[in-house]
A and B are shown apart, each in its own frame.
Chain A
Amino acid sequence: MPSMTNTDFSLSIEDLTVSFDGFKAVDNLNLYIDKNELHVVIGPNGAGKTTVLDLICGKTKSTSGSIKFLNQELTTLSEHEIVRRGVGRKFQTPSIYENLSVFENLEVSYPEGRGVFGSLFFKRSEKVISKINEIAKLIMLDGEMETEAALLSHGQKQWLEIGMLLIQDPQLLMLDEPVAGMSVKEREQTAELLNSISKGRSVLVIEHDMEFVERIAHKVTVLHQGKILAAGKMDEVQKDPKVIEVYLGH
């Protein structure tokens, strides 16, 4: 049952469980994230990391437990309502509109004209264009505005999707493996990007690349078989014998 307690945290997940035909992919999970915090979830394959993101953004419905964001219960809302409450989510494989240009990708994501008739009469005003330019600069794609998104490099596609979220100015940004398939240089640029965008909001990242996690994480949660194995600062977690056994030691 959704809990009635309110907290000071930006995101508070309490006793969250989801079971698929009896298999508990997420089992009694408790997780709290502050504003301005960049929180990374790590764990071996099948630990339930992506499922946690699916639950928060409404893609998967929880079996029990509560997800509160700015003290609003999310588990009862539909996907687009959750987005409109300020939650943005990037998918594991870059999920962009290949047939549209970079500019159009960002414009489609602009948080106005979200209804049928609103979109029919949506105007590309100066305000919209300057916001798109601002975000494009942030994600280092301001030189590629007219490029069809399909022609971007893999790393650029990842950035574009992050930009599509940023243009909505989400208070919680969730990124599923944002540096997968990126070159070393792109990883560095992405780390800088994440550090700059985590100010003023909460960021939840799933990542496998330990070197990258060390660079960005304020706090780390290690998931294993749907449960929290350890949580805290990266250096503490790395020394935890349980963590070493199931994950880091391999």
Chain B
Amino acid sequence: MSFVYDKLLGGKSGAIGLLVLSVIILIVFPMLLDGFRLNLVGKYLTYAFAAISLVLLWGYGGTLSLGQGIFFGLGGYGMAMFLKLEASSPENTAIQSTPGIPDFMDWNQITALPWFWEPFSSFGFTLLAILVLPALFAYFIGVAMFKRRVGGVYFAIITQVIAVILTVLIVGQQGYTGGINGITDLRTLNGWDITSDSAKYLFYYINCGLLIGVILLSRFILTSKFGRLLLAIRDKEDRVRFSGYDVANFKIFIFCFAAFVSALGGAMFTLQVGFMSPSFVGIVPSIEMVIFAAVGGRMSLIGVVYGTLLINFGKTTFSESFPELWLFLMGGTFIAVVMFFPNGLAGLWSQYSPDIIKKIRSTFGMANPELPLSSPGLKETNS
């Protein structure tokens, strides 16, 4: 029990925070929102995976990646390739000059399915690829960078460049990737209509379940010695190295884990939104993910989920009425966070919530219990 409580939930404040979040996304949203809006929230929550990956990598590890869109995209494209192949059965594509291959290939005079598309006709392989390939790609980038002690701004720029390269590659290789339009017109998963309302509800709940699972797993990492080493590396990398640790291995691991988490989000994005395109891979989405994490609080696994939701609600609301103003507003929010509340929403909460709770308690005539001290060494900056 204490393992679950301390290591997965992160003690009392972590457990309450996760409970509140679970109630909001699993009960409140489905009750209040219609199918269309709920699907939209589901889409936002897929970005929260990337934001959580940045808590580990950037907030704790001190390594800023401006390329989480790469892994979000790889996960999303993996799922889209499987769904596209299923949608491109010879019967569905009988009017093409080469039936049985995705429509965009046919338009680009490709007459046979490319070799790297072949395995994606298997659902098992696709799932495995989504779980493994983005992390493997991150492993190669990580070994190349961290073993050579490339870090900080240089690492951020290189991840951004990789995001650009990947986008250019996807857009340029239209016949193999669907180009700028992406992979669209996805209909069924093993014969089951993914555009139906019931499918959308189910995906929403699966998405929420995975998100909570990722938060628990991340909490386990952060409350272990590994988590304290991440903070130590962020603070004094040389001291960690000269305490007998191979620092690069720790950075590589957390980068791979962050890639894995982002890819999960990408795959859930494709399932819920019904397409994948390069506009979710490149610089802009990658930087938006950093903004979600910064606004929510880069030290808080739960805070970044709220940050992601808030910014995306804002984006949807404002870009419906003032599309040209939104980018300025989002940029302004980011600057405000950096300058005035560097720990984001979570930081504001941990700063002001004790007073607010006290006030509420005294208003209703309740006694203020002494706050229990956190167990030695397990405290976190905030939940």
Contact = CB atoms under 8 A, between A and B. Distances in A.
Interface in B243-299: 243-247, 249-250, 253
Contacts of B241: 79-80
B309 to A, nearest CB: 28
A100 B245 contact: no
Interface string A102-131: 011001110101111001111010000000
Which of A88, A97, A113 has the most chain B CB within a 10 Å cutoff?
Answer: A97
Interface string A50-73: 000000010100000000000000
B249 A116 contact: yes
Contacts of A47: none
Given A95-B236, A120-B220, 20 more contacts: A59-B242, A80-B242, A83-B244, A91-B238, A96-B239, A97-B235, A97-B236, A98-B235, A99-B235, A100-B231, A104-B377, A108-B228, A108-B240, A111-B244, A113-B225, A115-B249, A116-B249, A119-B229, A120-B224, A120-B225
B117 interface: no
A107 B244 contact: no
B232 interface: yes
Contacts of B243: 83, 108-109, 164, 168
A109 B231 CA distance: 13
Contact of B225 (A80, A88, A89, A107): A107
A30 interface: no
B224 A80 contact: no
B377 A101 contact: yes
A103 B376 contact: yes
Contact of B253 (A83, A97, A101, A116): A116
Question: What size tier do the contact residues of chain B reach?
Answer: 20 to 34
A152 interface: no
A100 B236 CA distance: 11
A84 B244 contact: yes
A114 B245 CA distance: 6
Contacts of B225: 107-108, 113, 119-120, 122
Contacts of A209: none
A145 interface: yes
Contacts of A88: 242
Interface string B353-383: 0000000000000000000000011010100
Contacts of A113: 225
Contacts of B125: none
Contacts of B238: 59, 91, 95
Given A96-B236, A119-B229, A120-B225, A57 B242 contact: yes
Contacts of A114: 244-245
B226 A119 contact: yes
A114 B377 CA distance: 18
B141 interface: no
A88 B226 CA distance: 21
A214 interface: no
A134 interface: no
Interface in B182-229: 220-221, 224-226, 228-229
A93 B7 CA distance: 34
Given A101-B377, A119-B224, A108 B244 contact: no
Contacts of A116: 226, 249-250, 253
A146 interface: yes
Contacts of A95: 236, 238-239
14 contacts: A89-B242, A91-B238, A95-B236, A96-B239, A97-B228, A97-B235, A101-B379, A104-B228, A104-B377, A107-B228, A108-B225, A109-B243, A116-B253, A122-B226
Contacts of A168: 243-244
Contacts of A115: 249
Contacts of A122: 224-226
Contact of A120 (B221, B247, B381): B221
Nearest to B233: A97
Nearest to B242: A89
Contact of A100 (B221, B232, B247, B249): B232
B242 to A, nearest CB: 5
Contacts of B250: 116, 119
A4 to B, nearest CB: 27
